[in-house]
Structure 1
């Protein structure tokens, strides 16, 4: 197991750990650090350690059931947003939430992972 001391960790509660691992490794270049499916896995991309906690994990059990997911998400920077959207759609990802939007800092689009957690793809201006 890689020591997480230099990584930023984000915990996502997921219904299916294996499906979440497949989603992040196949579509976004994460690599598996620990795989203890079906309870838990963590995947890494650069300095981000994404903790994927299934229903049997201690992280999921510590979260009250009535907690709303909110609007928080992981933010992945891409060089070409349109190319990423096309690549993901060609790979069968259909969980986009609307169209790409443009703001003063760049362009972005939201999609969800298999458990409904938000992922933001962002192309800086």
Structure 2
């Protein structure tokens, strides 16, 4: 099982996005600081600004959400999932890209972290 940590601006908004939009289950929440979510073999820790993971580094840099690293959520019907997420005003970074292995698109959680939706060929 893999565990991924995403820094988020708002833990409650992140929980709603991942549970209602992508089918994760909420395993545990520690107030506004952090929540643990699960989907299949993936455990996702979402850490808010009050979490220890958000503390400044020794050189003064502050961890923040966003970037291009991402995890992949496999879906059976990419168009239906996109439509459902767009109805929730989820932002997308691109249009569907097709390759030999399947089709993919990047959406963003409420803090701007990328999530790849992938439908295998």
Q: Is TM (by shorter chain) over 0.5?
A: yes
2:24 equivalent to 1:30: yes
Residue in structure 2 matched with residue 10 of structure 1 by the alignment: 4
> Against the structure 1 CA distance between its residues 32 and 62, is the aligned structure 2 distance closer, same or farther, given a 3 Å change threshold?
farther
**Cα-Cα RMSD:** 1.8
When normalised by structure 2's length, the TM-score is 0.89
Residue in structure 2 matched with residue 100 of structure 1 by the alignment: 96
When normalised by structure 1's length, the TM-score is 0.86
Give 5+ residue unaligned stretches, structure 1.
1-6
Residue in structure 1 matched with residue 114 of structure 2 by the alignment: 118
Query: Distance between the aligned counterparts of 2:64 and 2:5, measured in 1?
Result: 14
Query: Distance between the aligned counterparts of 2:98 and 2:67, measured in 1?
Result: 22
Aligned to 2:16, what secondary structure does the other structure show? helix
> In the comparison of the two structures, how many residue pairs are matched?
118
Structure 1 stretches of 4+ moved >3 Å: 66-70
Query: Distance between the aligned counterparts of 2:7 and 2:55, measured in 1?
Result: 10
Shift of residue 22 of structure 1? 0.7
Asked whether the equivalents of residues 67 and 113 of structure 2 are also in contact (C-alpha less than 8 Å), the reply is no
Query: Distance between the aligned counterparts of 2:120 and 2:53, measured in 1?
Result: 33
Shift of residue 67 of structure 1? 6.9
Query: Distance between the aligned counterparts of 1:107 and 1:15, measured in 2?
Result: 29
> Against the structure 1 CA distance between its residues 13 and 66, is the aligned structure 2 distance closer, same or farther, given a 3 Å change threshold?
closer
Give 5+ residue unaligned stretches, structure 2.
none
